[in-house]
Amino acid sequence: MKKGMIKLSVLYPNGEGKHFDIDYYCIKHVPLVGELLGNAIKAASIEKGIGGMEPDSPAPYAAMGNLYFDSMDSYEKSFIANIEKISADLPNFTNIEPIVQLSEVKI
């Protein structure tokens, strides 16, 4: 990553009654997003929650996905332009309403 990049974080809060299929997410959803956004994505990561800070405590998030873009313009022209197709796939792997944050990389 380099300073000034835009990071899109999609966090899926964990909790009772919440379901997240990490295999579908990795095998189907992420490639779909990659196909739709193409070269606009400069880097990406997928994280599966395994625990909280205290021993044996549950993870606050079932999973997190991060995408990096060169600029807000690149994010808007790629991700926002395809948000309906991306969002339509969510019920295939989760019943969780994601938390979304845009950040500017500082270091």
Q: φ and ψ at 10, to 5 degrees?
A: -120, 115
Stretch 23-45: mean pLDDT, rounded? 98
Query: Would residue 83 count as lying in a domain?
Result: yes
The answer to whether residue 1 scores a pLDDT higher than 90 is no
**Cα 36 to Cα 86: distance, rounded to the nearest angstrom:** 8
Share of the chain above pLDDT 70, in %: 100
pLDDT digits (tens, 9 = 90+) for 40-86: 999 999 999 999 999 999 999 999 999 999 999 999 999 999 999 99
Query: For residue 17, how many other CB atoms are within 10 A of its CB?
Result: 6
**Residue 53's CATH number:** 3.30.70.100
Question: Closest by alpha carbon to 42, among 72, 82, 5?
Answer: 5
Domain assignment of residue 13, given as a range: 6-104
pLDDT at 90: 98
On the CB side of 51, how many CA atoms lie within 13 Å of its CA? 5
Query: Would residue 1 count as lying in a domain?
Result: no
> What tokens appear for 27 in the block?
């095998």
pLDDT at 74: 98
pLDDT at 89: 98
Number of independent structural domains in the chain? 1
